[in-house]
Structures are given as C-alpha cells and as structure tokens.
Structure 1
Amino acid sequence: MTNEHHHEPQNIILFPGVVKRLVEEGMDELKQKNGQKALQLFSQAETYEPTSAQARFGVVLSLIELNRQEEAVEKTKALLNEGIGDYYETLQVHVSLLVQLSRYEEVVHLLETVLSENRLPSEHAETFYELLHFSRQMSSSQAYDASLLDEEHKKETELELRAGLHATNEPAKWKALQTVKQLNVKALLKDVRELAADENAKALMRTYALVLLHDWNDRLPIVIKKEERSMEVQPAELPIPGERDIDKAIRQALEEQLEQEDPVLLQMARQLHHTYLLITYPFLPDPPNPKAWACAFHLVAAEQLGLETDEEDMVDCYGCKRFDVLCASNEIEALEKDILLEAQDQNQWFHT
C-alpha cells in the first residue's frame, strides 16, 4: 500500500535534484493518465520537501485524475492556508473543486471574502466573478437581492453580473440577465446591448435582452442580425413581442378557428406562434399575411399532435393563399427544433 501521508524523513541524505526528478517523473505519469503512479511519485517528493509547491500541487492533480475530489480539495485548502505556490492558481483549482462537489455556499463565502479585500489580479477577475455568479445562483441561501446593490457591495455585484452576462455557461448567462432585470442594474446597459447584438447567443436570450433595453427606454440604434435578416432598431421604439398588429391578428385567426372546436390544438398552435415570434423578434413574419401564418401554425401543431388534416380545406377555412401557407410552414419547420426546445423551457416569460 502506498504511503501518501507526510512524515518528516529522519537521517536521510538526499542526492542533489532528487525532488525535481520525482516531480518530473510524476508529471510524465500524469500525462499518461497513470494517476496512482503519479500520486506515489509526488507524495514521495512531498515527503522529502514538504514546502515544494510543485510536489504538493502534483498530489492535487493526481487526486483529481483519480476522481478523489474530496481529498484534493483538502490539499488545495492546505496550500492556501500555508501560502505555498501561486495563491490565485491554487484558489482557482480549489474553487473549481468546490463547485464540482456542489459546495456552492463555501464558494460564495470564500470569493466574497477575497473580493472584499480588493486583492484580485485583473487576469483572474473574470473567471472568479463567473464562478461566484454561478455558485450564487446554485446556492439556496445565497440568492441575489437588492441588498447586494448597496454601497458596500454594488461594485462587486455589478462585476459579478457582468461576468455572468459574458459567461459561456448558458444557465449562468440566463440567470445573470434575469437578475439584471430583476434588480434593474442599468449600469450594465452596455453589456445587455452587446448580448442583444451577439449573433452567437441564443435567439430567445437576445429577445429578452432587447425587451429589457426597451423597458430601460434605450434610444441608441443597435443592429440586430438573425439568420439571414438584419435591421437597425431603437429598442425604446420597438413594440413588445406579441403586441404587434400582426401578432394579434395571428392569434385572433387561430382563436376564430379553434377556440370552440379544439382548445388543446389551439393552445399548441398559440404556443408555437408565441415561441416562434420570440425567436425571430424583432423581425416581422414574411409573408406579412396573418391568416396564412395562423393556418401554418394550425397545420404544424396538428402534425405534432398526430392529427390528420386536409391542407386544401384548411387553406379555404382561413381564406388565404396556399403558396403563402407553404412559405410560412417551411419557415416554421426550419426552426421547429429550436421552437420545441424553447417552448419546453421552464422560464414562464416565454409561455402564453
């Protein structure tokens, strides 16, 4: 059995460079994914030189390779307490391990303490603010509230939310955007504008950002590109999704056909319409024929429910052109996967 505990060697004369050699051999074993062998080598090096940052950190990396995160996090905690190695690199690994172990409240407490001391280097700031934001949203007792915008916490909260808005983690980005709206953090208007214009962000998230800019009466022009369409808008002047004339006309046409005949099909068609307009907002449906679009949503919804339909009869019922219905149906079906995924989202803002 490998001795992984730290005992001070007694009466041992080390050959020059032995600790360095053990560390190098340990790193070679780690590269080969041989975590157990690497742990033996790093532990031996640590026994010979307990203050060796490379040996101690090698033990941490070996434990992570062996999926022994509980032990690894105790090692990183000791390194931080003893001041061995690069503090911020160790802190990043330590916090990442706490997140893996779902110890979110510890992350929030630790990072808030570090941030309160104003000693966070700029090269590490974004990572730590993003981890703090993610951990706060996952913690049951560390949620955001208005108290985080008082003079003592305002700067840190804004930096944390800014990191969240630029996060690669989609749930973290969503939570940041919703919190910015909830707490009315207008200091982040520029970041919200960037998110609204970001072609790589999810379409629904961009719509949410655009509506928030509308609520904030933002009158600066912004270029929105979705799919192959592009337009310059002033958010303050945009009508709210669902309140445009064509949106209301589509809903009315669906209700006239289905409200009495099939309420379940009506609800499905309305949900498809609502999610579609949020994905494509601020662009108007094209062709601009509300009855053709209502017919198309009716057809797609019926297909999803496994109902048989007669396309020609339905076109006659809605009093529209079959070509317009086909164009609308093709566009809905092109976005059908995204529409279905987003329609299942638990955020009630997106539900009719």
Structure 2
Amino acid sequence: MGKQGDGQEDNVILFPGLVAKLVEKGMSSLKEKKYYDALRYFQQSAELEPSHPQARYGLVITNIELNRLNEAKSHCESMLREGIGNYYEVLQVYVSLLVQLGDYQEVETILESVMSEERLPADMAESFYQLLEFARQMTSPEIADFEDEIDEESIEGLSTTKEWIDLLEKGETDQQWGAIQKLSQLNTKEVQNAYRTFLKEKDKNPVIKSYLLQTLKELDVKGTFEVHKFGNTYEVKIEDLEDVFHEKFGTQVINELEKELGQESPSLFEMVQQVWWHFLFALYPKSPAPLDARVWAAALHVLGLSLMDNEKNRVKQISQRYRTQAEEVNKAVIHMRTIEAHLFKTMQ
C-alpha cells in the first residue's frame, strides 16, 4: 500500500472511515457480480485493517464466487485462528468449503470436536449435523473409489475359495470389497451361490450389493438373482442391467440441474453430483420414482443448499425454478435423506 504507482493509494489512506467505504464498495461490487472489483476492495480494506470482520469475510465470499476455493479456505482458516467474525458462521462456510474440496475426513474431525463441546447454536445444529452425516458417508469404505487399495493385512493368508466366501459373508466392509474382487476371478457354482445368498440377505450393505451386481454384469454372468434392498425383495436379470454410472435418467437429471445450479454455483453443482450418483448407486438396480428429471434436479438443488447454509423453506422457491411441484420435490428430498440415514446405520 505504500507505493504511489497511480498516485491514489497513499492519498486515500489519510481519510477517516476509509475502510468502511472500501468495504461498502466491495459489497456493492459483489452484489453487481463484479467479483474482481470486489476482491480488490476487500483486499485493500483488509490490508488497512486486518481485523475488520466484514473485509475478511468479503475475501472469503468473493473467492468462492470466483471458484477460488482453496484461497477462500485459507481465509476462513485465518479468521478462525485469529478469532475474527462470528465463529460459527465462519465455521459453517469453512466446513462447506471442505466438503466441496472433498476433504471429508477433516469435516468429520472438526464437527465431531465442535459437537462434543455442546456449544453449537440451536439454529445451526441441523445444518452441521447434516454436513457431519454426509462426511461420514463419504469417508466410509463403501463410498470410497472402487479402485482404492484393499487392506492387505486384513486378507493376507487367505487361499481357499471357502475362506474368501466366509470373508464375504462375515467380514468388515473393506474385506467384503476385497472378497468380491478376489472371487470375481473364480466363476464357479459355489461362488455364484455365495453371491445369491449375499444379495438376498436383509442385513447386508446395499452399496456392497450394488457393487456385486455391477461385478456380475462386467463378468457377463447370465441369469436371475434375488435382491433385497431397503425393505423390498425383487428379482434381477443380470444381462438386462444398465451401467449405473451411464444411466440415462441419471444423466438427464444432471443436465437439468446444470441449467440452474451449474450456472449459479459450479462448485455446489459438482458436490451434489456426488450425492446424486451415490444415491443412485445405493438404489441400483432400481430407479428413483417418479421418473421426472426436474423433480430430482430440484431436490438435489434443495439438498445442496441445505448442506451449504441454514436457510429453510427453499422447496417451494426451487420447485418453481424447475417448473415442478413442491410436494414431489419434498418427497424426493426426504427419500434421499432416508436412504442416507439407512446407509449410515449399516456402517455403524
């Protein structure tokens, strides 16, 4: 700030109330979506008064709008560390950024610590709880990338088909992943019978069952298997299965969502896409009802906003944007949350 390259900066420092004026200009630029102008005003005001909460918070929001999430995260961290601004409001934005950046383990660590202190404001408790539940799901073994390494220590020493089948039946989640991968190399009647038993048992994890069905499809297995998921039992013909990650309806929903949320908040759009594919994979091979892409796009929009902030009653407003019925959207939101809660219980 000490340079006089344009003859302006050193002069304005002399005026009283300068920081407030710069912050005001920053807020105006932000509202007008002139994000680089806003960033410049907030940077200047923060340099002049580093402890000014609005200036520092303005840097966070502007960087988010510019999709500079790591920069926004750093500003949040420094505000929390220095005790600047409303702690819980800053924490809420910080945790939301961690979710968008995929740092779910850090989200879980932070929120578990905060909640253990029992100092959480009542009006923010639900939002933080939802973020914590989402992070726990995303850090669980079954939500991890299917190509992640299997815990070698947990499966070393196994050599016979029976031992692998026993691990599939009684092992922990990561061990079941490993067992399916190992057993997929053995296309025997004994192995297929084990698959049949696993798929129809009521207490087995629905996501593991989805992975097993996909494996059978990839192995070009033929025939009908009985599957139990979320209280329902039905038959599945393996050769008729569609690849869930290329499911036509799933893609239609993403396309509808992109028209609204993709333009409004690209980072939030990326986050709720993960929620959507996770939800579809849990339901697989069933499709969500109703088969109305606008309903589910609106529901994902609502769910994403609920993860990002604590504002309520968004269903009617968002439903109108997607030209659909609020009642249907609300049912879809409840359905996704119910599935999430069920999966969370199976992981405990």
**How high is the TM-score relative to the length of structure 1?**
0.50
SS in 2 for 1:222: strand
Is the aligned partner of 1:291 residue 2:294? Answer: yes
SS in 2 for 1:223: strand
Aligned pairs for 1:249-268 (under 5 A) are 249-268=252-271
CA distance in structure 2 between the aligned counterparts of 1:196 and 1:299, rounded to whole angstroms: 33
Is the aligned partner of 1:317 residue 2:317? Answer: no
CA distance in structure 2 between the aligned counterparts of 1:339 and 1:302, rounded to whole angstroms: 21
CA distance in structure 2 between the aligned counterparts of 1:290 and 1:245, rounded to whole angstroms: 10
**Maintained 8 Å contact 2:205/2:343:** no
SS in 2 for 1:282: coil
Q: For residue 248 of structure 2, what is the aligned residue in structure 1? A: 245
- Which of the residues 201, 215, 231 maps onto 2:204? 201
Q: For residue 176 of structure 2, what is the aligned residue in structure 1? A: 173
CA distance in structure 2 between the aligned counterparts of 1:276 and 1:175, rounded to whole angstroms: 23
**Maintained 8 Å contact 1:293/1:328:** yes
CA distance in structure 1 between the aligned counterparts of 2:252 and 2:344, rounded to whole angstroms: 23
Q: Which amino acid aligns with 2:265?
A: D
Per the TM alignment, residue 193 of structure 1 is displaced from its structure 2 partner at its CA by 2.8
SS in 1 for 2:227: strand
Per the TM alignment, residue 341 of structure 1 is displaced from its structure 2 partner at its CA by 8.7
Per the TM alignment, residue 340 of structure 1 is displaced from its structure 2 partner at its CA by 6.9
**How high is the TM-score relative to the length of structure 2?**
0.50
Is the aligned partner of 1:139 residue 2:153? Answer: yes
For the pair shown, the structure with the greater C-alpha radius of gyration is: 1
Q: Quote the RMSD (CA, aligned, Å).
A: 2.8
CA distance in structure 2 between the aligned counterparts of 1:209 and 1:278, rounded to whole angstroms: 11
1 or 2 for the larger relative contact order (CA 8 Å, sep ≥6)?
A: 2
Unpaired runs of at least 5, structure 1 = 1-135, 149-155, 345-352
Write the deviation string for residues 43-96 of structure 1: whole angstroms up to 9, x where unpaired: xxxxxxxxxxxxxxxxxxxxxxxxxxxxxxxxxxxxxxxxxxxxxxxxxxxxxx
Aligned pairs for 1:111-260 (under 5 A) are 137-139=151-153, 156-181=159-184, 184-187=185-188, 188-260=191-263
CA distance in structure 1 between the aligned counterparts of 2:222 and 2:180, rounded to whole angstroms: 20
CA distance in structure 2 between the aligned counterparts of 1:210 and 1:325, rounded to whole angstroms: 29
**Maintained 8 Å contact 1:195/1:209:** no
Q: For residue 275 of structure 2, what is the aligned residue in structure 1? A: 272
Unpaired runs of at least 5, structure 2 = 1-149
Per the TM alignment, residue 241 of structure 1 is displaced from its structure 2 partner at its CA by 1.1
Q: Which amino acid aligns with 1:186?
A: N
CA distance in structure 2 between the aligned counterparts of 1:236 and 1:202, rounded to whole angstroms: 23
**Maintained 8 Å contact 1:250/1:291:** yes
**Maintained 8 Å contact 2:224/2:236:** yes
Per the TM alignment, residue 143 of structure 1 is displaced from its structure 2 partner at its CA by 5.8
Identity of aligned residues (%): 20
CA distance in structure 2 between the aligned counterparts of 1:164 and 1:330, rounded to whole angstroms: 34
The count of corresponding residues between Structure 1 and Structure 2 is 195
